[in-house]
Amino acid sequence: MKAKVSREMVYAEKTFTGILKEKIIKLILYLILILGVIATLFPFYYMLVLATKSNTEIFSYPPPVWFGNNFRENLQTLLDALPFFRNILNSVFVATVSTVLTLFFCSLGGYGFAKYEFKGKEKLFFLMLATMMIPGLLAIIPWFILMSKFNWLNTFYPLIIPGIANAFGIFLMRQFMEDIPDDIIDSARIDGCGEFEIFIRIILPMSLPALGTLGILTFLGSWNNYMQALLILHDDILFTIPVALSKLGGKIDQNWGAQMAGTTLAIAPMVIAYVLASKQFISGITEGATKG
């Protein structure tokens, strides 16, 4: 109450020039924000422009700034260079399987840390979090050798299996599950539910919001994974999207239209998902940062 009164006093003291100054500041801030949005979105817009233009239109001066009607031809050029739809299917497969398995194993681990007391819990949890700080490049060469010893080169296993029980996912699920009341779990035990049954029947359905967040992040990470896919996949037919895209430069170097048609197909699913569920995308990012 006190604050409110003094605030009104502050406003009452405002002069005309004070109000004008505030308006100008506001206008400038909006201008900055809008310029930022243009800079952020323009590359995507221009990708669409080039994807619909023919080569002769692209390589002329001044360059095109509005859509053309050459998308089909560009797509055909792309498909002649690479089995691009198959590459998309590969990415869908790898990302879907990764996501399903990750959701299962990370929520299982998260549940273990959130709702049980056991010896060495604190130390094991700290150890797990500490592994998140290890730079990914450190062991990339032996990792590759290991994959070849497993005979896993040119298969999807290396892109799926190593990450299905990851520290970040377990941490995220634990954060959420800590808030599930113990009473529910205890009464299920009294009713004769087994530990694993409680997890499947009670904990998983109650964790849907967190599963959604983790699912989106996992799918995204898998969809965009480049370095490991580049090392493991060697046949056109097995490429995932990022590898296929990176090989375009060598195949249709001077055909920006076809390259951008491929880029459009590659990022469209993620952008559509993002527009529909931006909240889940963003909450997944901030969850790890502000609580961790």
Question: Does position 19 bind another protein by CB under 8 A?
Answer: no
Question: Does position 103 bind another protein by CB under 8 A?
Answer: no
Closer residue to another protein (CB): 206 or 267: 267
How many whole angstroms separate alpha carbon 171 and alpha carbon 111?
10
Q: Which of 68, 71, 204, 274 binds another protein (CB under 8 A)?
A: 274
Question: Does position 260 bind another protein by CB under 8 A?
Answer: yes
| Rounded least distance, CB 113 to another protein, Å | 6
* Look-up of token digits 């959130």: 114
Question: Does position 32 bind another protein by CB under 8 A?
Answer: yes
Q: Which of 68, 105, 175, 251 binds another protein (CB under 8 A)?
A: 105
Q: Which of 122, 135, 179, 182 binds another protein (CB under 8 A)?
A: 135
Closer residue to another protein (CB): 108 or 206: 108
Q: What are the φ and ψ backbone dihedral angles of 80, each rounded to 5 degrees?
A: -70, -30
Applying CB under 8 A, which part among 66-74, 80-88, 206-214, 240-248 lies near another protein?
240-248
Question: Does position 245 bind another protein by CB under 8 A?
Answer: yes
Residue 62 preceded by cis peptide, ω within 30: yes
Q: Which of 46, 68, 92, 212 binds another protein (CB under 8 A)?
A: 46
How many whole angstroms separate alpha carbon 272 and alpha carbon 269?
5
Q: Which of 175, 224, 236, 280 binds another protein (CB under 8 A)?
A: 224
How many whole angstroms separate alpha carbon 216 and alpha carbon 281?
7
Which residue type is seen at 28? I
How many whole angstroms separate alpha carbon 87 and alpha carbon 80?
13
Question: Does position 121 bind another protein by CB under 8 A?
Answer: yes
144 contact partners, CB below 8 Å, separation of at least 6: 231, 232
Q: Tell me the angle at which helices 256-276 and 71-81 cross, rounded to the nearest 10 degrees.
A: 100
